[in-house]
Structures are given as C-alpha cells and as structure tokens.
Structure 1
Amino acid sequence: MSLIYNLEFNEGYGSKTKERVRGTFLCINYVLNDAKYKSTCTPRWAKSNASGYALDFDGYSTFIKDEALVHDGAFTISSLVAPRCFEACHGEVSTAIIDQLDRENNRGFALSLFQHGEVQFEMGDGEKIHLLRTRQQLELYKKSLITVTYSKGKIELFINSKLQMIKEVDWAFVPSDIPLSIGISNTPFHISKIFKGGMFSGLIDYIKVFNENLSEEEIQREFYELEGKLQLDLKDIDLDETLLLDDIHRPQYHAIPPQHWMNEPHAPFYYNGKYHLFYQKNASGPYFSNLHWGHWTSEDMVFWQNEKTALFPQKGDVSPSGVWSGSATIGPQGIPYLFYTFADFSKKFNQGVAIATPKDIEDPNLIEWVMEDKVAIMQTDRQGIRSQFRDPFVWKDPAKDIWYLIIGGGIDEKGPTAWIYTSIDCENWEFKGEFFTVDKAEYPYLGTNWELPVFLPVSDAKGNTKHVFIFMSFFHTESRYHVDTYYYIGDFDKDNFRFVPDSEEPQLIDYGKFKFSGPSGFVDPVTGKSIVFSILQGDRNEQEEYDAGWAHNAGLPIELYLENNELRMRPLENLTSLRDALLLDEANLTLSEINQKIEKINHKMLEVLVEFEEVDGIVGLELKKNLNEHEKTLLIYDEENNQVRLDRRKSRLGREGDIQGGPLDVGKDFSVQLFLDHSTIECFMNNKKTITSRAYPLLSDSDHISLIGDQGTKIRSIKIYKLKPIWKRGETSDYYDNRH
C-alpha cells in the first residue's frame, strides 16, 4: 500500500503548496494574493499540533486546482479538517473537500460536507453517481478525521476512526479525467453573478489518498496518533480580525466582524458588567447568506471584542435554514434570553420565534448558547402574509413581571403591521392581536410588511415620557418605493395592547437613503438611556466586496430622547473615549480664519463639532477632499429652504454619486457633530436629524476637510478630534504570514 496523492499543507506560508507524490507545486487561489484595497498577502496558515500547519480556506475565494488523479482500483481518502461554516441556507448542497466528480459522465468521486456538517461521499460507476451520507455531523470549530475506503464490493465511511456507514456495492468505480478540485466543487452553484457556493470554510490539515483500502485497525491507529494533538484555539480557526486592518476603506472604530459579511446588529443586553451585541453573520464570505448570529462584548458599548459565533443553523433543530434577526431580554431568575427568527424552508409558514439561553450562566462572556428544540411562536393562517413574520423585539414591563413581544408582518388587505404577545415566563406567549397597523393605500411607501420593529421609551429633561416605534419598511412584492427606516412617537395603551401614535404620518429616522437600517435597541440599565444600534450599509458592488473581503459594519450607538415632544438623537456619550488628540479648538472666528487653521488636518478617523452662528444662506463642510478637489463630499445646510443634504456626486473619482437629504428646520444656528471613519460618514445635525452614508475615495490624499459658506460667516465654536481605533493590529502572529 502506498500514497498516490498527498497534500500536507506543511509549508506554513506562501501562496503555493506541494503535492508530495507527484512533486507538483500548486497555486492557492486567494483573493488577497493580489489585493486591491490593502497590502497583498497570502492565505493564512494555522499552526497545527497534528500536522505542522493547516491551510485556512476562507469560504469564498480560497481553492486549489490540480491535474486529474486517475486510479481505478481500491483506495482510501483520509482528511483532517476543521469547518467554520456549513452551507445550511441553500437547500440540499454541500461544501467540497476534494472533488473529481464528472457529473455529466457519471465518473469520479467527491468528498464533501453536506448542509449541517454531515459527511458526504459520491462515486460514479459510468452509469450512475452513488451517494453516501452520514447521520453524524462534524462539529464547527473542531478538528475531525474523515476517512473513506473503497474496494470492489464495499464502501466504508469513518469519522474520527468510528465507522459511520458501510455500503455493499455490486458495481465498480470508474475514475474521471477532469481536473481535481480542493476546497471547491467541480460544479459549484451560483449564489450571485460573483459569488459561488459549495466552497469549504475552515482549516484543512491534510488530504491523503492511498491505493488500497485501509483496514479499520489502520484507521484507528491513525486517529490514535492524532489524539491529544487535535486541540484548536478559537483564534486558530476563527476569522483573523487583524487581516484587513490596513484596508483603506474599512472602518477602524466601529463594531465590525473580523472579515466577510454582516447585516443588522441586534439583541443588545447588559449582564454582569458587560454589554452584549449580536449581528447577522456569514462566515463563508462577504455576501448575503448562511445566516448565523455573530457576537460582540463590551464594557462601554464603544470598545468591542469579537466572540465565537453564538447561534447557527442546526439539523433537526427548529431553525435548519438560517438564524435570522431578533432581540434579547433578561428573563426570570435573571437569565438572559435570546429571541431569534427561525428559518425552516421546508414548512408552509417558514418563519417564527425561537429561544436560546446561555450554556454557562457563570461564563463572564456568555460564549456558548443553547438553542431550545421547540418553537416559541409560530405564525398562523390568520396572521397576514405567509412567511412575512420575523424579527421579534422583547421588553419587560418595568413595573411588573410581564414581558411583551412584537414581531413584524403584514396583512394583504390592510397594510404593514406588528403583532403583539405577552408572557409571564418568557417561554409561553399569548397572542394579543395587532400592536399597530397602517393603511397601505394611504401610506404605500411604508411597505407591504415591516421588519425589525423596535419599541422604546423616550423622555425629556422634565421626565415626561413617550414611546418611539421604529421599523423598517419592506416590500414582498415589486414596488416603486424603496426600503427605509421610519418612526412614530406616541403612547403604549397597555389595556388594549396597542400603540397610539401622536401623528398619522411617520418620519424618516435618517436621510442617508437606507445606509442607516436594521434598527435594534434597548434601555441601558446602567444609565436608563434608550440606545439604538443600526447597520451602516455599504455602497459598493459585489465585485468590490469580493475583492475587499468584507461588507458592512455597525453604526455608532445613538441615544434617543425627547424635546418639545419631538424625537432627538445624539451619539452615545461614551464615544468621547475614542478621542485620541484634540487637533483644533477655536471659538468666535470667521469661516475664513477657521479654514486657514484646518488646511493641514487630514486623517481618516475624525470627530468634528462645529456651530455656525446666525446662518444666512448656505453653510456646511467639505469632507474627504483631496487638495485638487477631484474628490470631495459636501454636507450642506440651506437655511432659506430649510434643507440639509449630503452631496456625494464627487465622492469617488470616476463614479457618479447622488445627493441625500431632506427638510431640517433649525432656526438660525446650525450645529453639526460628525464622525468620519475611513468610508463611513455619520452626521448629527442639531440633534434633530442624521445622515448616515459612505464615501470610497481613491486618491491617497482625500482626507482633508474645510468649511463651506460666506468667508465672513461667524463660527461660534469648532473642535476636531483625531479618534483612535478599537481594533488593534498587534504583532504578526504565528498563524499568518505576508511572505509570498
């Protein structure tokens, strides 16, 4: 018996690996081998006690192609892998480990992981492709030894040397002569025009193919030799948060996943001195799919720490097709509860509410979560549009032990709605009807149904309290209107379980054309303040996100309060801890004098506070500007028309942008607090309105700022701070190397 194929991945660096039998050096395809927005680097290599090194496959761009392996006799395939994500959200598909299956001619073989980590092996006999699939699933973030043996008449499949399947066959394997693929299917399915599915995400220590079938004793011996060497620290397998820190557009002081894609942050809560915030996560690539719950922790809601993925789709669970957005509360006996939207595409009503609780309540970071194996709330056929029923928001009545839950939906013949439930134990929920519904004929721009409803108390300086109901419009049918985030101010009628708005028409919460979206929030028990989180949407095409390796980040946390019975919004006070250096502090000077003082300020991470005194005409700021003004973004307040706008038409060289904005009545004094963090722009104007947006300038000096207006315009005050990052570069680790 001898090896006929051997990928050991023991180089430990570089963008090539050697197949040891044929002595061939193989190129490792990886998007950052030729990076566009950061320094070029090779794939990550993780040190391995078992084999020296393992190669990290990022889930969307890392793969290897090789010449055909032609062998028509008995064989054994042995591979040591540690998966990071499964293809649970795309139906009955798999992620390839090694694939030389010619599906057209029913020849060859493929070893892969099915939806939830089941090991799958396919073989062709020239007439048909035969399939074996284990019941047992591999565990995420853990190393597993997979072994498949074939001899004429029998196929056996092992996980960690334990026999999982044995199949007697009366046919003979027929090899294929198509190229061999590692980490990608030979017939990948398309998620979009740019992104492909069926790609492995995680570590592969080795792949070995022998020219005979190993005995069970030999397989056990191989595993016993590995035992004690399979330990895997989270930092070895989780996405490397230092990898993209030199990306010219990637935010540095915002909450953001280590790599890849995120959608809305959600489920904030405070427990034992720490804040927790979760988010929609795809660990396979920077695209919408494979919905998990990522997890951050913080002591101040400013400096965040990445934690292990909290929730993920599981076979046989209530949520096999994805774990969608939700919220959190502190339940009975002081236990944190997560409420998430389950996804099960096999059901008629494929969305509803399920629950997770901490595995170890004593763990200070609450890393591990247990997803309950029962549905908490299921949509019925009397609750509006089928399968438009998601994003539970839960809160506790501050006066008694009762919890409320609202969830977004829509009623075809009426309009978008939120349904409401109550509970005394957070486990059993009683339906109370429509919390709030609007007439879609009168307000068609508010959607056919609502997503991400949020309901929070807001108070003024005198202690007068109202409630704000925030939601995101959604259209489950084609519409000429766009999705956006709106709010109403009003009262909660507890007797009838209804929200009563002060006005019939809602307001936009942000003028950034959906850059601010995915709202979530909670009442901070430490300060009593109502805090809102959001996703700060990207503004790039799929190819650009593929090339960058990341998409989206969280917006800065915002405090909501009342003034004159109107909603006000300001950045969380804790954000002052980001201030690294005061670059400018002036008062009672003219606009011309200020512009002379800020000519040399050009940083990618700034906080700017400016008050224009007695505005008459047009004032504002030029942001992210290069000295020749080939690129710049303008924030403008038009006093005559009571309008504010962000002009992005010259934000990026060679690409036409838009103008974002809307009405803003501030009288004569216009004040702005804005945050710049690489590509992000967040503007707070008189604490009345916000514009959240993006700019991706290409020129290296497009970081200057200046004031707009008449040269004699009086500036009451201006402060500019350089801000510091919350993500630390640190030293180059043993697990990552920039060498080629």
Structure 2
Amino acid sequence: MSLIYDLPFREGKGNQTKEAISGNILPIHYVFNHAKYKASSSPNWVESPVSGYAVDFDGYSTYIKDQPLEVNGSFSISAFLAPRCFEACHGDVPTTIIDQINQSSQQGFALSIFRHGEVQFELGDGRNIYRFRTDRQLELFTKSFLTVTYNQEELSVMIYINGKKELESTNIKYFRPADIALSIGLNNHLFEISEVFKGGMFAGLIDFIKVYDHALTDEDIQKEYDKIRDKRSVPLEDIDLDEQKLLDDVHRPQYHAIPPQHWMNEPHAPFYYKGKYHLFYQKNASGPYFSHLHWGHWTSDDLVFWQNEKTALFPQKGELSPSGVWSGSATIGPNNKPYLFYTFANLNKKYNQGVAIARPENVEDTHLVDWKMKPQGAIYQTDQQGIPSQFRDPFVWKDETEEKWYLIIGGGVKDKGPTVWIYTSTDCEHWDFKGELFSVDSSLYPYLGTNWELPVLLPVRDQQGQVKYAFIFMSFFDDESKYEVDTYYYLGEFDKQKAQFIPDTIEPELMDYGRFKFSGPSGFVDPVTNKTIVFSILQGDREEQEEYEAGWAHHAGLPIELFLENQALRIQPLENLASLREELLIHESNKSIEEVNHKVKNIQDKMLEIMIEFEETENLVGLELKKDPANQEKTKLLFDKANDRVWLDRTESRKDKEGDIQGGSLKLDEGFKAHIFIDHSAMECYLNQKKMISSRAYPVSSNSDYLSIVGNTDIRIKSIKIFRLQSIWKQKEMSD
C-alpha cells in the first residue's frame, strides 16, 4: 500500500510543477503565462507551512492536466485547500479539485466542491456515475483538509472534512477506472457559461493533492489532520484576488474604484459610518464574466482613494438566496447601526426575488468587513406585484424629519408598464407596502422598458435650499425589443403623504449620452457635506475573449454630484477628485486654438484631467483624445452650437475595430465647457454641468495618448488646465 500520486507544489514560482511520484513536469495553464495587455506573469504562489507553497487557482483560467492515473481497486484522495468562492449560480455544476471522470463510458472518479461548499465525490462503475455529497459545507478563505476513501472490499465510500467523517455509504458498486486525462482544478466536462467562459473550475488555494492505492483508515486520516490542524488559517491578502496583478495593464483604469481582478457590475449601497465611506458592488470572484453574484466591498476616507475589503455577502444554501446575492442599498438604521438590503435570488421558484437584510458582525469595526445575513427575507414579491422574477434592487433611505425609512424596488406589470413599488418602516426590519411610487404606460413610452431596474430617488438642492427629487432608473426588457437598455432620470416632487413621485415632465432624459456605458446607478446624500452623490458602472466595451485575456471587466464610474440650477438638474464630478492631481501640465487663458495646440502637443499620458472653456462660437469645436502621432487612432469630443449637438466620435478610436458615435442635444447660451477625465481606457466628459458622456477607447497603438484642440485656428480658448493624475492603487514590487 502506497502513495501513487503526489502534487506538493514545492516550486514557489513559475508556471509548471512536478508530480512527485512519476517525476512528470506539468504545465500550469494560466491566462497570463502569455499575457496580451500586460507583462506576462506566472500564477500566484503563496507560502504554506504545510507543503512549502500553495498555488492560487484563479477560477477561470488556471488548471493542470496530467496523463491518466492508473487506479484499480481501493483508493483514497487527500487534499488541503482554501476556496475563495463557490459555484453557486449554475445548478448542479461542481467545482473540480481532481477529476478523472469519463461521462461517456460512465467510469472514473472525481473529487469536487458543490454549490455552496458541500464536498462531492463521484464514482463510475461503467453503467452509472454515483454521487456522494456532504451536508456540511467548507469554509471560505480557510484551509480545509479533505479525504475521500473507496474501499473495494467493503464496497464503501467515506468523506472526511478536517479529520471528521461526514458521510459514509455502503453497498457501492465496483469502481471502474477511466482512461481519460487527469484534471486538477478543471472539470473534465465543463459547463458552458458562454462560448468563452466555462464553469466548474476551482477558485482558491491548493496546498497539495495526494492519491493512495488503498483506503485510509480513520486513524490514518486523523493522524494526518493532526499534523496540519493548526495551519488552516490563511491571511486574507494571501487568498483574496491580488490587486497588484493587473496594475500594468495598458487599458485598466488606475484612479477608479475597481475590483482587484475579474468582473463587477453595479456599485451600490453607499453609506458613511464612523469616519469611513463604504461602497459595495456586484462581484464575481471566479472570473471576468457575469455570474456568481456576491457583494464586493470598498472603503474610503474621501470617496476618491479606495481600499479593497473582504467580500461582504455570499450566496447561501437554503431557500432564501442560493442563486446569488443581487444588487441593493444601505442605510443607517435604528441605534445608528448600518443595514444592507439586498436582492435575494432563488431561481428554483417562480417568484424568485425579494429583499433580505444583512447586519455587521462587529459595529465597532470601522471597516465593517464581516456581515451576518438574516436567514429570512424582509419583503417577498406577491402574485399581485407584476411580472414574476422582475422584482429587485431595493433602494432605502431615511426620512429627514422623523424615524421612518422608505424602500423602493423595481418591477413591471405585464401589458401596463414598468413600475416602482414603495414600502415604509419604523425599524428597518418590518416593512409596510404603500403601493406604486411611480409607473409609466409602455404603449406610450416603449423605449422605457417592460420593467425598471436599480431605481433611485434622491433629493437635489439649489444654492437657496430649494429641493426637488431625481428619480433615476434603468430600463429593462423582459422580452425582445428594438430599444436599448439605458439609464434615465425624471426631476419632480416626492409626495410623502401619498408615497408617490410626481414628475415635472411626461418623459425622462438620458442620464448620460454614452450608450449604456454609464449604468447601474446608486447614490446617497453624504451626511458630511450634504451633497447628493451618484455612483455608476462604467461598462467595458470589449468582446468576451478580450475580457478573458485581460482578466477584468468593468469598474465604477467617478462619483458625481447632482444639484439644482434654474429648476434643472445639473451634474458635475465630485470636487474631492482634485486630490488626484499630481502635476499641473498646462494652464493657459485667452489663447487661440493654434497657440494652445502648440502647448499641448507634447503631452502624452494615460491619466489626465482636462478643463477647457471655449469662447462662444457657431463653429464646430472640441478635442481629439487618445490620439497617436500618426493620426490613425483618436477619439473626438465635438460640439456644434449651430445644431445644438454634442457627441463623442469613436469611429477612429481603434484601428482594428469599427467604432460608433455617441451623443445628443446640448443647448447653450455660453461657450462650450468640457471637464474631461481620461484613465487609460475610461473617458468621462462633463459638459457645461448639463450633460455627460461616459465612454471607452481601447487603442491598439501603445502611444495613443496625445491630444489636440479642434476648431478654426483663430477660435479663442478662454481657459484650459490639464493635470496629470495619480493612481489610487499603490504598486508593489512583483515577484514572478
């Protein structure tokens, strides 16, 4: 009886490892072994007091393939590992640890982790594949010692977690080995999430995997566990996604809030607590694709410089949120305690969405890194509340004058139109339904969708203290439509007595002209400054294969301030962003375009803030941004006063891809003013505080970072300032 397979991961660096029994050198497949947008690098290796090192499997590209392992008769598998997340959102898809199952011949074995951390073992006898699954779940971010045994003499299977027997099954059929490649971290029969991304891949640290040619005894297993029992804890920085890994990506923004790696969707649930701002976001820690919805978490002292925190909320086993933890919001509730309100998702049900609550584990922790999710929902969709499974994204705020909280949630009524429901509470736990806050008729305004997502209702003020409310939402289509999803707003009044929103106009306006690049709105009134602040996603604009190769997708837009002027909504970047300024490159006043272009021609940088004001003119004016010296790539921001139009021309943004034009109406009785932020591929343009265009540019040329002013050479520039901005992420020296 002996050890027949041993992966100890002793190398500590590089992109290959040695299997100790055969001596085979095995490549570790990893997307950045041959990186496209950054310097090539190997997978992360983390020091381990047990085996020397552990390899970090990123959840979508890291895996090892080996020749078939000859297993006959009894055998055991041991593994020491720490999962970072589970495959919660794709039904019966296990996350592979070691896999030599052949589905076609119904032979082989596999050890994996099921949806919410249950340990799963599979055996094939040539006719069927038998699955054994524990009730007990593994812990995230903590190392667990797993052992499975198959005893052919006793025809039994046993599964152990940290030395304790969690499952025993007898009368098992004879095992039949499979002549198929052995996979580590990769399911041999991948679940297709899309043409590019596949499910069933392990995310986290693996210290070692061992296979024995006999069934280990309880005593054997306990003895092995005793050796490592006190070595299970893992520092968060060792297992969490490494924010340093992508800092040299040519297209990845550097001064925006962004997850360490992988994918995000809408930022949400901002609040201020004990000197810290908190902002959460929809997160997938398994890869840069839409799935496995968790709540990521940032903290900040100033809404500009952010810190990545531990993932806050996870999908949970049970009836409430097994399929994902979707978007929501936050408030400071009774007794000055923070509350998170999230959309729970159980896709096994017809009415599968509603609102649930999470509270901090430790209210004295200013970073609030640990959250406890209540096992019961706070609000459930009823059969009188519109389209099933279109009931999500709660937005909560406290009344300014009394101990009352309001909650709105997006939905829609079939053959009627999109709507938002409203509730009230005096304790943030129990909610009273008050009806519809606001709805529209789909037959009159089909472009506004069949239902609404991410509704936000925020007060906005002018300098005299007059208040209106901005109702912001995203259109959504429950069926095929010729219209595009986008973000809109109404300005109007909130009637607290009737719990209804009364708009000033019958139709809303676009929040941003960037064709869905600005989306996922959320916001709050900052209790420190009393400013109304809105957060958003700045959506990416690449194919899935490009996002696979980049290792990230999307990030937060810059925080913006909303205010009133002349009964109209005004938009500007948050003034705190001035702290990003590293160097003033240009400061000129009352110069011709020709003179200014002579000054700016040598500016080349991927992180810039540009503030420019043109004298009033009927002629076309604007800027060329992200421009290469050969003038083959550029993105143009243009304003045409004669036609009251502003637009971003992306038709030449990238040499190898056709672009588009994004824009809309802009009426001015003054000169054109643009406040522009460029952060690698991200571009945000704030125009006379009236409109904004958020967009993207991914030039092919590495030096497409120049700019110039557009217009007749004698047109005057009233003022221009250009700043070089700094990264909010501190770069450390990386080891291979």
Equivalent in the alignment of 2:498: 496
Q: CA deviation at 1:169?
A: 2.2
Equivalent in the alignment of 1:575: 577
Q: Deviations over 1:131-184 (max 9, x none)?
A: 110000001111000001111121111000000011112521111111101101
- The secondary structure found in structure 1 opposite 2:25 is strand
- The secondary structure found in structure 1 opposite 2:597 is helix
Equivalent in the alignment of 1:603: 605
Equivalent in the alignment of 2:644: 642
What does 1:2-13 align with in structure 2 at a 5 Å threshold? 2-13=2-13
Q: Deviations over 1:656-679 (max 9, x none)?
A: 100000000112311110000000
1:160 counterpart = 2:162: yes
AA partner of residue 457 (structure 1): P
Aligned pair in 2 of structure 1 residues 723, 172: CA closer, same or farther (>3 Å)?
same
Q: Is the 8 Å Cα contact of residues 656 and 700 (structure 2) preserved in structure 1?
A: no
Q: Is the 8 Å Cα contact of residues 100 and 108 (structure 2) preserved in structure 1?
A: yes
Q: Distance in 1 between the 2:128 and 2:675 partners? A: 66
Regions of 4+ moved over 6 Å: none
Q: Deviations over 1:447-479 (max 9, x none)?
A: 000000000000111111100000000001000
- The secondary structure found in structure 2 opposite 1:650 is coil
Q: Distance in 2 between the 1:387 and 1:90 partners? A: 17
AA partner of residue 565 (structure 2): E
Aligned pair partner of 1:331 in 330, 333, 348: 333
Equivalent in the alignment of 1:677: 679
Q: Distance in 1 between the 2:626 and 2:337 partners? A: 46
Equivalent in the alignment of 2:270: 268
Equivalent in the alignment of 1:687: 689
1:34 counterpart = 2:34: yes
Aligned pair partner of 1:227 in 207, 229, 235: 229
Equivalent in the alignment of 1:105: 105
Equivalent in the alignment of 2:256: 254
1:362 counterpart = 2:386: no
1:130 counterpart = 2:130: yes
Equivalent in the alignment of 1:315: 317
Q: Is the 8 Å Cα contact of residues 50 and 230 (structure 1) preserved in structure 2?
A: no
Q: Deviations over 1:286-315 (max 9, x none)?
A: 000000000000000000000000001011
1:729 counterpart = 2:731: yes
Aligned pair partner of 2:620 in 606, 618, 621: 618
AA partner of residue 291 (structure 1): L
1:49 counterpart = 2:49: yes
AA partner of residue 145 (structure 2): L
Q: What stretches of structure 2 of length at least 5 have no aligned partner?
A: none
Q: Is the 8 Å Cα contact of residues 108 and 123 (structure 1) preserved in structure 2?
A: yes
Q: Distance in 2 between the 1:286 and 1:350 partners? A: 25
Q: Distance in 2 between the 1:624 and 1:369 partners? A: 42
Q: Distance in 2 between the 1:466 and 1:584 partners? A: 38
Q: Distance in 1 between the 2:629 and 2:563 partners? A: 39
AA partner of residue 39 (structure 2): S
AA partner of residue 88 (structure 1): A
- The secondary structure found in structure 2 opposite 1:76 is strand
Q: Deviations over 1:101-143 (max 9, x none)?
A: 1111111100000000100000011121111100000011110
Q: Distance in 1 between the 2:576 and 2:717 partners? A: 26
- The secondary structure found in structure 2 opposite 1:374 is coil
Q: CA deviation at 1:231?
A: 2.0
Q: Deviations over 1:587-610 (max 9, x none)?
A: 011110000001100100000000
Identity of aligned residues (%): 63
Q: Distance in 2 between the 1:690 and 1:360 partners? A: 40
Aligned pair partner of 1:184 in 186, 204, 208: 186
Aligned pair partner of 1:409 in 405, 408, 411: 411
Equivalent in the alignment of 2:85: 85
Equivalent in the alignment of 2:468: 466
Q: Distance in 1 between the 2:195 and 2:17 partners? A: 29
Equivalent in the alignment of 1:380: 382
Q: Distance in 2 between the 1:278 and 1:644 partners? A: 33
Q: Is the 8 Å Cα contact of residues 283 and 293 (structure 2) preserved in structure 1?
A: yes
What does 1:528-567 align with in structure 2 at a 5 Å threshold? 528-567=530-569
AA partner of residue 630 (structure 2): N
Q: Distance in 2 between the 1:196 and 1:93 partners? A: 11
Q: Distance in 1 between the 2:547 and 2:400 partners? A: 44
Q: Distance in 1 between the 2:90 and 2:272 partners? A: 34
Q: Distance in 1 between the 2:171 and 2:186 partners? A: 27
Aligned pair partner of 2:350 in 348, 353, 358: 348
Q: Distance in 2 between the 1:250 and 1:558 partners? A: 21
Q: Deviations over 1:216-258 (max 9, x none)?
A: 1111111110022222000000000000000000000000000
Q: CA deviation at 1:317?
A: 5.5
AA partner of residue 495 (structure 2): D
Q: Deviations over 1:423-448 (max 9, x none)?
A: 00000000000100011111100000
Q: CA deviation at 1:413?
A: 2.3
AA partner of residue 246 (structure 1): D
Q: Is the 8 Å Cα contact of residues 99 and 180 (structure 1) preserved in structure 2?
A: yes
Q: Distance in 2 between the 1:213 and 1:382 partners? A: 57
Aligned pair partner of 2:448 in 425, 446, 449: 446
Q: Distance in 2 between the 1:410 and 1:348 partners? A: 15
Q: CA deviation at 1:616?
A: 2.1
Q: Distance in 2 between the 1:171 and 1:269 partners? A: 57
Q: Distance in 2 between the 1:103 and 1:610 partners? A: 63
CA RMSD of aligned residues (A): 0.7
Q: Distance in 1 between the 2:88 and 2:703 partners? A: 44
Q: Is the 8 Å Cα contact of residues 49 and 230 (structure 1) preserved in structure 2?
A: no
- The secondary structure found in structure 2 opposite 1:310 is coil
Aligned pair partner of 2:401 in 383, 399, 402: 399
Q: Is the 8 Å Cα contact of residues 616 and 668 (structure 1) preserved in structure 2?
A: no
AA partner of residue 419 (structure 1): W
Q: What stretches of structure 1 of length at least 5 have no aligned partner?
A: none
Q: Is the 8 Å Cα contact of residues 557 and 572 (structure 1) preserved in structure 2?
A: yes
- The secondary structure found in structure 1 opposite 2:106 is coil
Equivalent in the alignment of 1:525: 527
Q: Is the 8 Å Cα contact of residues 319 and 346 (structure 2) preserved in structure 1?
A: no
Q: Is the 8 Å Cα contact of residues 157 and 172 (structure 2) preserved in structure 1?
A: no
Q: Is the 8 Å Cα contact of residues 589 and 720 (structure 2) preserved in structure 1?
A: yes
Q: Distance in 2 between the 1:382 and 1:100 partners? A: 50
Equivalent in the alignment of 1:66: 66
Q: Distance in 2 between the 1:447 and 1:154 partners? A: 56
Q: Distance in 1 between the 2:103 and 2:416 partners? A: 50
Q: CA deviation at 1:354?
A: 0.3
AA partner of residue 348 (structure 1): K
Q: Distance in 2 between the 1:136 and 1:462 partners? A: 60
Aligned pair partner of 1:215 in 210, 214, 217: 217
AA partner of residue 668 (structure 1): E
Under a length normalisation based on structure 1, what TM-score does the superposition of the two structures give?
Answer: 0.99
Equivalent in the alignment of 1:150: 150
Q: Distance in 1 between the 2:528 and 2:418 partners? A: 34
